[in-house]
Structure 1
Amino acid sequence: MGQLDCKEEVIVDLFAGIGYFTLPFLFKANAKMVYACEWNPHAIEALRRNLEVNGVADRCVVLEGDNRVTAPKGVADRVNLGLLPSSEGSWAIAVRALRGGMMHVHGNVKDTEEDSWTEQVSNSSKEISRSEGHNWDVSVEHVERVKWYAPHIRHLVVDIKCKQIES
């Protein structure tokens, strides 16, 4: 994530933890702002400390509590869903947070089901965006095979691009 150019972007990290993705977005990718959602008080304490130590706390809003309640709506150019084994329960929250842009959807997937899972993520994202009233072209931009999580189980990230359709 740190290799992306996020200079003018607002990002929502739905599962911030101690900052595994939040910090690279801010420090390396130069995000304009990150909304970091987290509910574990110990992780929040570490996240705040990590933001301060790295000098990026002024560009991060830590949203404490359940992201179903705390996640902002319609602000993000990019949403990270870094929850394993599955972030599926938060796909609608991610779509609501976007104003159009990219969703990075993480999941643990059987090696024989990578294509079908990618298609499921894409189709579900399309359905959710329509149900939320968006007129978006939803497409798979990239699939990253991060690492083997267990035998025959791979950590995948599907990048879903949501672009406003000009009418």
Structure 2
Amino acid sequence: MKKYLAFLFCLIISISIAQNTLKYTPVNKSPKATLKQVSWIAGYWQGKALGGLTEEVWTAPMGDSMMGSFKLVVDNKVKFYELCTISELNETLILRIKHFDNDLKGWEEKEVSENFRLVKIENNKVYFDGLTFEKVGENKLNIYVVFEKSNGLKEEIKFSYTLKN
């Protein structure tokens, strides 16, 4: 009975943590998709998250990818950067991210990136493994990301952005 209650508690916690993200499972392979379906992500986006100001810039599709960058500024100092791509690969999409300290020292090894497989795509949402882009208006974008905390628990963080000219 104790094991059942512990399992039920963990299930409820995991469901409540990830309300806006999906997990990739190898059983269901990534759906067919093109960059045209996610071109609405392109723009210069600003918001607040992680205790500071954030900006994310995404280019329009060109070639077989979109390029993005992210910056977090806390107390008027850059905490870290990300360089990102959404690429067409094998008739689907993949999101790749590399992280850098404020002095551009990479977090990942030179040949390694964090890769997020496509799980599902809708008109105003694209779900990658643990990361979702959602267009919530002509000038609004939400990005939901599942972070693993130091204690092993996972937490979904919402980044709310406004399109800047």
What is the TM-score with the length of structure 2 in the denominator? Answer: 0.26
Q: Larger strand proportion, structure 1 or 2? A: 2
Larger relative contact order (Cα-Cα within 8 Å, sequence gap ≥ 6): 2
Q: Larger helix proportion, structure 1 or 2? A: 1
What is the TM-score with the length of structure 1 in the denominator? Answer: 0.26
Asked which structure has the greater CA Rg, the reply is 2
